[in-house]
């Protein structure tokens, strides 16, 4: 049914649930699975010398930890999961990468934000489902 699956993964509770569900689907459909972590842009200017570099290093370390988690899930399910990073607003970046990569399914976790917060600002998963050109599965943990 699905041949290319993109899962948004940030290490959160919802992200872990989405990754596990995507891994099961990839195994069942013999689909290609890619885990995507989106990093919001760092500020261009700062008052503190070295701050952008230390932020970039921290982000790289964070991504390396997420890669280890993805590798563990891949091993548990006996599949390969590619890892990629993107930069920008998470919803916009996930939709863009899914469109450019011709993915036929995006899997994302539902955030733990309150209902009021989600209504005021909009949830990333809701924005993805509104703008994606392919199917979207929102996994609740």
> Tell me, what's the pLDDT at 115?
56
> Which two three-digit tokens encode residue 101?
């990569």
Q: Identify the CATH assignment for 4-43+52-139 out of 1.20.59.10, 3.40.50.720, 3.20.10.10, 3.40.50.620.
A: 3.40.50.620
Domain residue spans in the chain? 4-43+52-139
In the structure, what pLDDT confidence band is assigned to residue 44 with cuts at 50, 70 and 90? low
Pick 112 or 11 by higher pLDDT.
11
CB neighbour list of residue 113: distance below 8 Å, 6 or more residues apart? 121, 123
> Tell me, what's the pLDDT at 123?
80
| Share of residues in the chain with pLDDT > 70 (%) | 84
The residue length of the chain stands at 141
Cα–Cα distance between 73 and 94 in angstroms, integer?
21
pLDDT for residue 90 is more than 80:
yes
129: helix, strand or coil: helix
Range in 8-12, 33-37, 52-56 the model is least confident about = 52-56
Mean pLDDT of 93-110: 96
What values do phi and psi take at 103, rounded to 5?
-75, 145
Could you read off the pLDDT of 22-36 as tens digits, one per residue? 999 999 999 999 999
pLDDT for residue 137 is more than 60:
yes
> Tell me, what's the pLDDT at 120?
44
pTM, full prediction: 0.85
* DSSP code at position 5: E
CB neighbour list of residue 7: distance below 8 Å, 6 or more residues apart? 18, 19, 22, 33, 34, 35, 36, 106, 107, 108
Helices marked H in the chain: 13-29, 51-77, 90-100, 115-121, 124-131
DSSP H or E stretch at residue 87: strand 81-87
pLDDT for residue 106 is more than 80:
yes
> Which two three-digit tokens encode residue 13?
């509770």
């Amino acid at each position: 049914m699905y041949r290319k699956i993109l899962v948004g993964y940030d290490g959160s509770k919802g992200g872990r649930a989405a990754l596990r569900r995507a891994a099961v689907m990839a195994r069942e459909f013999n689909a290609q699975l890619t885990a995507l972590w989106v990093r919001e842009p760092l500020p261009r200017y700062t008052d503190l010398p070295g701050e952008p570099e230390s932020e970039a290093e921290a982000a790289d370390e964070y991504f390396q930890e997420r890669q280890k988690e993805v590798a563990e899930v891949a091993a548990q399910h006996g599949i390969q999961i590619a890892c990629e990073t993107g930069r920008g607003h998470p919803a916009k970046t996930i939709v863009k990468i899914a469109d450019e990569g011709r993915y036929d399914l995006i899997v994302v976790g539902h955030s733990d934000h309150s209902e009021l917060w989600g209504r005021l600002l909009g949830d990333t998963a809701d924005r993805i489902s509104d703008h994606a050109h392919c199917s979207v599965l929102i996994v609740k943990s």
